[in-house]
Amino acid sequence: MVNLKNCTILGVSILALSLLIPVYTNSVNAQVTINGAGATFPFPLIDTWRVEYKNVNPDVNINYASIGSGGGIKQFIEKTVDFGATDAPLSASEFEKAGNAVHIPETIGSVVLAYNLPEVTTPLKLTGPVIADIFMGKITKWDDTKIKEINPGVTLPSEDIISVHRSDGSGTSFVFTDYLSKVSPEWHDSIGVGKSVQWPSGIGAPGNEGVAASIQGSPYSIGYVELAYALTTQMTYASIQNKEGNFIAPSFNSTMDAVSSAAGTLPEGSQSWTNVTLTDSSGPNSYPISSLTYLLLYKDLSTNPSVDEQKARSLVDFVEWAITDGQQFSESLGYVPLPQSVVDINEQTLKSLTFKGTPILSNSTS
Amino acid sequence: MSKHDSNKRKNYKSIIQDTISKNASRRKTKNNLITVLLFCFVVIAIIPLGSILIEIIKNGVGALSFEFLFEAPGSIGSGGGGIGPAIQGTLLVVAFATLIGAPVGVLAGVYLSEYSDSSRTFAYVLRLFNDVLTGIPSIVIGITGYITLVLTLGSFSILAGAFVLSIIMIPIIARVSEETLKLVPNNLREAAYGLGLPKWKVIYHVVIKGSKSGILTGIVLAISRITGETAPLIMTILGTSLFFSGFNSPVDALPLRIWRLASQPYPSAHEQGWGAALLLILIVLSLSIILRMFAQQRRITFKSTT
């Protein structure tokens, strides 16, 4: 068949051509490729590690696909990837299904309330209950007395508030609703916590990008985005009252404080992290809406049949580098570096990892 | 009497002429109106296509460079590196998918057109299922590939990606092939039989060769359709920043790369995303132009001898 022959010739030539492309990169057979998948939030950071780790260990290729936290957990449990990544810790049932998973917090995120008030130049202050009321549709005007009370001296416009939330399932929504549930009993009872919840009011937009675009495009709107996003897009954002009553602007330091003050309550890496949340944490300078994001590994890395001993060692070495030296790339990308207390917990976790029963780290370091 | 008659006739004539000219002018204006209206609709239909193309070219041209085409991506947000693995991955996955999908699709079309007379119900059921397959959302086909190939083989791979894309291709190719094969005039078949050719030779040398450009159009259609698929690829090839390294590891593809670049907060990532979108369109366009040239070059024309 001539047409099939044509297609075959064309197909084969395309194959041959495209297989030639890797000639540009020096491919050595001794290289190890580590596959991971999961949360979109830490993707830029992990992607930077992929490139930077090449300088540390040229033989290790890191391959991370951002498919979302839920997907990361699923692929990790199905063992189609070597490590997973997620914004929310494994739930009790997921933890049980995975068998012997460990959580390794690799970076910190915080959620920022960004707003668009053309007339207002002084940074706005908000409290948890007020934010909950805005997103429940109970406070509808910017010059509501509840907002005026905490912002004395600021002339607020008498305009309707447009609240913007995520329309897709998202770890950001999870952290945000988790915070609102803690500070507002009414939110806790009527709406609750989740990656996607029934929003009683406001408009939905997909992704951080969508929310940011909606806020920038519509005056008198307010919404929540990740700190990294707010910083790179130069949005205006509010200071939020923390547990101690101080109004704290989101920043690297205030987020780190929130994590440090909660570090004492964190479990060991191999225990269940289901109930770990950093929102509304104590400490005078803690920003109240922050959360950890995790890498998922098996306690015994041979649990995943596609991981051999060399790969297991490379993977653990990489993670150890990521939580220590790798943290230097955080700030320029808008991520909050891990405080020492969390790094210590991670080091303990990594030391406990084994391959077919034998510890991995002590072998490679000694 | 006769004078009166002729007057009457004249009257009628003028009345008829009046009506005709009135009608004609009304029809002319109607005709013009509808023409203008239809033209407007055509313009409205073209506006999205034109604006998409203009927007993509405007935003994407700046990103194109040698490095962008052939190198692995730099860290996201840095603006360095390129989308080499994505281009390579797209070409490979589409080529493999076509190698699987085109023969199956064309042969299915041959069966439906040439062999289905003996069992009409079976052919009817086949056609029905074929049409249903066209309508299945690609993400569902992706999940099927994930369950049947990714989970059983234990890793995301180019094979799983090619498999799901070929499933999307097959019904399109089968349908178009069947329709074009049916267009081959029956007396050509009869003439071939008359020369003593067996059925398979008639099909191979007369029917298929006669409708080659139609079949190729079907294949081109299917390729253009699958090149832009994202959802089934997330489930099967996962995406990566590395070049192709083997049949049991993830590969990248342009639609996946575009989606990932677009969801980042960094302007440099967006620029690369536009560049990748431009490339995707160029690849689809050039593939279909090349295939069409193939078809045109070797077209067989039926000359009448009488």
**What does the pLDDT look like over A236-246, one tens digit per residue?**
999 999 999 99
Min Cα–Cα distance to chain B from A109, Å: 14
Annotate A47-81 with b (16+ C-beta within 10 A) or e (fewer): bbbbbbbeeeeeebbbbbbbbbbbbbbbbbbebbb
Average pLDDT, chain B: 89
Pairwise pLDDT comparison (B21 vs B4), residue with the higher score: B21
* pTM for the full predicted model: 0.80
Tell me, what's the pLDDT at A1?
45
* Interface probe with A: pick from B67, B71, B76, B298, most Cβ of A within 10 Å: B76
DSSP B130-161: HHHHHHS-HHHHHHHHIIIIIHHHTS--HHHH
Q: H or E element: which one contains A115?
A: strand A101-116
Question: Where residue A4 falls among pLDDT bands split at 50, 70, 90?
Answer: low
Percent of chain A with pLDDT over 90: 51
Read off the pLDDT of each residue in A139-143 and give the average, rounded to a whole number.
92
Give contacts of B88 with chain A, Cβ < 8 Å. 18-19, 21-22
pLDDT at B3 exceeding the cut of 70: no
> Do A21 and B70 make contact, defined as CB atoms within 8 angstroms?
yes
pLDDT at A183 exceeding the cut of 60: yes
pLDDT at A71 exceeding the cut of 60: yes
Read off the pLDDT of each residue in B250-260 and give the average, rounded to a whole number.
92
Question: Where residue B52 falls among pLDDT bands split at 50, 70, 90?
Answer: very high
Min Cα–Cα distance to chain A from B20, Å: 57
Tell me, what's the pLDDT at B299?
56
Give contacts of B241 with chain A, Cβ < 8 Å. 47, 50, 63-64
Pairwise pLDDT comparison (B295 vs B19), residue with the higher score: B19
Distance CA A54, CA A76 (A): 24
pLDDT at B50 exceeding the cut of 50: yes
Q: Tell which residue, B262, B258, B270, B264, has the closest CA to residue B233.
A: B258
Closest Cβ–Cβ partner in B70, B78, B98 for A11: B98
Distance CA A39, CA A169 (A): 11
Give contacts of A17 with chain B, Cβ < 8 Å. 91
Task: Please give the residue of chain B at the shortest CA–CA distance from A231.
Answer: B265
Question: What are the C-alpha distances in Å from A149 to residues A146, A182, A242, B4?
Answer: 5, 22, 17, 101
Lowest-pLDDT choice from A16-25, A42-51, A101-110, B130-139? A16-25
Distance CA A209, CA A166 (A): 10
Pairwise pLDDT comparison (B218 vs B2), residue with the higher score: B218
Question: Where residue A24 falls among pLDDT bands split at 50, 70, 90?
Answer: very low
Distance CA A291, CA A174 (A): 10
pLDDT at A11 exceeding the cut of 80: no
Question: What are the C-alpha distances in Å from A267 to residues A79, A262, A275, A281, A346?
Answer: 24, 11, 10, 16, 11
Question: Where residue A366 falls among pLDDT bands split at 50, 70, 90?
Answer: very low
CB-defined contacts A:B, below 8 A: 145
Question: Where residue A7 falls among pLDDT bands split at 50, 70, 90?
Answer: low
Phi (first) and psi of residue A113, to 5 degrees: -95, 105
Q: Tell which residue, A332, A336, A248, A234, has the closest CA to residue A285.
A: A248
Tell me, what's the pLDDT at A25?
46
Pairwise pLDDT comparison (B7 vs A309), residue with the higher score: A309
Give contacts of B264 with chain A, Cβ < 8 Å. 43-44
Task: Please give the residue of chain B at the shortest CA–CA distance from A38.
Answer: B238
Break chain B into its structural domains and give their ranges: 3-63, 66-305
Architecture of B66-305 per CATH?
Orthogonal Bundle (1.10)
Min Cα–Cα distance to chain A from B182, Å: 17
Distance CA A73, CA A79 (A): 10
Distance CA B177, CA B162 (A): 21
Task: Please give the residue of chain B at the shortest CA–CA distance from A20.
Answer: B88
Distance CA B2, CA A355 (A): 121
- Of these ranges, A318-322, B79-83, B219-223, the one predicted with the greatest mean pLDDT is A318-322
Lowest-pLDDT choice from A190-194, A261-265, B154-158? A261-265
Distance CA A215, CA A114 (A): 8
- Contact yes or no for B138/B225 (Cβ under 8 A): no
pLDDT at B138 exceeding the cut of 50: yes
> Do B95 and A66 make contact, defined as CB atoms within 8 angstroms?
no
